[in-house]
Amino acid sequence: MTLFSAAGSMAAFLTTAAYVPQAYKTIKTRSTSSLSLPTYVMLFLGTCLWVVYGLHTGDVPVLASNVVTSILAGIILCLKFGAKPNEPS
């Protein structure tokens, strides 16, 4: 593994790991009222496109980190869209 490959793998791990605590808290509490819908839509779409890129190039760190983040962002979007009208989203 080259230095640049190691740096890329570490970057992929850290950016995904940085997102996990917020996703965990949101999934656990099911409270999405303080989360921006446009932010999560863009995050979900962006990470899905990174997955396509990772598949095309065979870049495993890009692929793995963005699959995880896409799944977590997708769950949060489902919670956001699934909020009842009389409850804060």
* 33-45 burial: b if 16+ Cβ within 10 Å, else e: eeeeeeebeebbe
Q: How many other C-beta atoms lie within 10 A of the C-beta of residue 11? A: 13
- What are the boundaries of each domain within the chain? 33-84
- Tens of pLDDT, residues 29-85: 989 989 999 999 999 999 999 999 999 999 999 999 999 999 999 999 999 998 665
pLDDT of 26 above 60 = yes
What is the pTM (predicted TM-score) of this model?
0.83
Give the pLDDT confidence score for residue 1 in this predicted structure.
80
